[in-house]
A and B are shown apart, each in its own frame.
Chain A
Amino acid sequence: MSTSTVLDRPRDGRAAGPAGSAARTARRKALLHWIAVHSLAVAAALFFVLPFVFVLLTSLMSDAQALTRDLTPNTWHPENYVKVFETPGFLTWWRNSLLYAGLGTLLVVVSSVPVAYALAKFRFRGRHLSLLLVVATMMLPPQVVLIPMYLFWAKQMDLSGTLWPLLIPMAFGDAFAIFLLRQFLLTIPDEYIEAARIDGCGELRTLLRIVLPMAKPGIAAVALFQFFYCWNDYFGPQIYASENPAAWTLSYGLESFKGAHHTDWNLTMAATVLVMAPVILVFFFAQKAFVEGVTLTGVKG
């Protein structure tokens, strides 16, 4: 990509004659283009950032001021955040979210990697069909099998009121993770795997010693997606944990927090910031892996 812009245009712009004036017109066009693009970019940036800014500002207002239309706090109230943490349950929800997201990510990665490896690198009958079924399950709204799954977990296994009905299935591979990892493993040349086999490496060792180290970016992307999915999940905890506040996650509890503080927009916005913050922090530490993962889902199209 060319990086030349109007900013590093040649200094000897005073060349005389018709060639010089043509160059000057071109430069003026480039400058106008630069201004147009960057004004649009600033406008878009405002649209994306202002909601965060307003939420943050409201979270620092007094109770009374949060009910007015003021945009900025008259007096600053960082103690709102302390109040949120002191709300009964908030720390429990935080712990449950970490547990759900952490354990869920671990289970999904461990169970999905071998399946993705088989789909990407083994030749076997039914491989294409398996792949089709993986994609089909990936596209399916979870509500389609909701009733039988709920009856199974609640009536047969007696596990409602916990997060286990959400975690146990994650030990059996997740369609999206399998698909994403498979796309990534396709990019690893077969020669490495062949070479390991010729050297007498068993399948499991080939996977652990040769393939996994090369697949780290793909695994990182899948782990991040799964962590975010669990952290953001509202539907799952609503179905299985709603009857037991001790099992609520942050995403589910946040809504009832709003219910308990229905006029305290400042506290609600402070809680909202506290739910958003970890995700955004994780993103800044793992930006590259994440964007790579998003691209991976699309570029193969």
Chain B
Amino acid sequence: MTTYTLRSKRRRSALRTAAFMAPWLVGFGVFFAYPLVSTVYFSLMRYDGLNPPTWRGLDNWTYVFSDLPKFWPALQNTLWLAVVMVTCRVVFGLGVGMIATRVKTGTGVFRTLFYLPYLAPPVAATLAFVFLLNPGTGPVNALLEAVGIPAPSWFNDAAWAKPALTVLAVWGVGDLMVIFMAALLDVPKEQYEAAELDGASAWQRFRFVTLPNIAPIVLFAVVTGIIGAMQYYTQPIVAAKVASGVIGGSGQTFEPGHPDDSTLTLPQLVYTLGFGRFDYGAACVVALVLFALSMACTALLMRRRGGLIGSGD
């Protein structure tokens, strides 16, 4: 009798769990697991969306790695963004966070102003920056030249396009600022007082008190930043379209990367292979490279003890 009720109770709780989890279980299967397996399948096929798929084996893979001239620049750009853009955002976000926690007058106004650009819709923000950094008509180069600094061509110069995107990314650093502010305010005051009594300089207080205390948040910002860099799509493609003057309306396709593939990233390569060239096989190969890179970063994020999701147990 006891075992029976226990079992029925257990079955009821399993049913309850299944009912609550149902939306995600279905969604995970239909919109994640199935298409992921399907991506692996298409990476081994020749398929253009019109003729039925035919077996191609690993030829798509050798094509992407050795015969697709755009693959290595795209990978390189994605890694460049993961290193340089993420570093700039973290350093700047921490700096702005420190300023925001120390400001005593007009605190609320400053914090709101620092945060606002993060909210600007990416397409709008990119359009704005292409205009602001426009070599001919933009105010930034006008100001630079007025003070005698040689002004680059930004989005129209292969060497300056990624730095220009980095400036745009740093402008929207509000999300990191808020996270760093919360972490900085959590550093125990006594540790600063003790360090001060020991005669520590400002740099030493930062190095030996602040940094160790906020290290987990810095790591979080770095890893999520890298994951964001893997998905970096809207800003470079819009910037390239607007700066090159080639904007497709309906039905037109555009080869991203202007100028000279300097802003081409892996997600854009998936798009242009699939929807520009209708080479779904090669597009799926690049998608799987992107998958492997993202999962490696995610594993890094979740491996550390008491990490992102550890707090619940």
Contacts and interface: CB of A to CB of B under 8 A. Distances in A.
Interface in A55-113: 55, 58, 66-69, 71, 111-112
A148 B119 contact: no
Contact of A147 (B14, B21, B280): B280
B61 to A, nearest CB: 15
A41 B110 contact: yes
B297 A139 contact: yes
Interface string A130-159: 111111110111111111111110010000
A20 interface: no
A49 B139 CA distance: 14
Contacts of A1: 185
A139 B302 CA distance: 11
Interface stretch (B1-9, B154-162, B204-212, B303-311): B303-311
A63 B247 CA distance: 20
A234 B131 contact: no
Interface residues of B, number: 105
A135 to B, nearest CB: 6
Contact of A265 (B42, B131, B245, B302): B131
Given A141-B267, A172-B31, A291-B115, A124 B24 contact: no
A219 interface: no
A173 B25 CA distance: 9
Contacts, number: 292
A300 B311 contact: yes
Contact of B114 (A45, A141, A272): A45
Contact of A173 (B24, B100, B288): B24
Interface in B28-60: 28, 30-32, 34-36, 38-39, 42, 49
B21 A242 contact: no
State the majority secondary structure of interface residues on A. helix
A3 B101 CA distance: 12
5 contacts: A37-B104, A71-B139, A255-B238, A294-B175, A295-B182
A152 B179 contact: no
Contact of B128 (A120, A272, A301): A272
A216 B251 CA distance: 43
B113 interface: yes
Could you say which interface size class chain A belongs to?
35 or more
A38 B294 CA distance: 40
Given A45-B110, A143-B287, A122 B42 contact: no
Contact of B121 (A132, A149, A251, A291): A251
B122 A149 contact: no
A234 B123 contact: yes
A51 interface: yes
A283 B175 CA distance: 13
Interface string B121-153: 111110111011000011101100000000000
Interface of A: 1, 3, 5, 7, 34, 37-38, 40-41, 44-45, 47-49, 51-52, 54-55, 58, 66-69, 71, 111-112, 114-115, 117-120, 122, 124, 128, 130-137, 139-152, 155, 169, 171-173, 178-179, 182-183, 186, 203, 228, 231-232, 234-235, 239, 242-245, 251-252, 254-256, 258-259, 262, 265, 268-269, 272, 275-276, 279-280, 283, 287, 291, 294-295, 297-301
A80 B132 CA distance: 19
Given A143-B267, A259-B247, A51 B42 contact: no
A280 B77 CA distance: 32
A32 B52 CA distance: 74
A135 B21 contact: no
Q: Which of B34, B114, B127, B179 has the most CB of A within 10 A?
A: B127
B199 interface: no
Contacts of B120: 276, 279-280
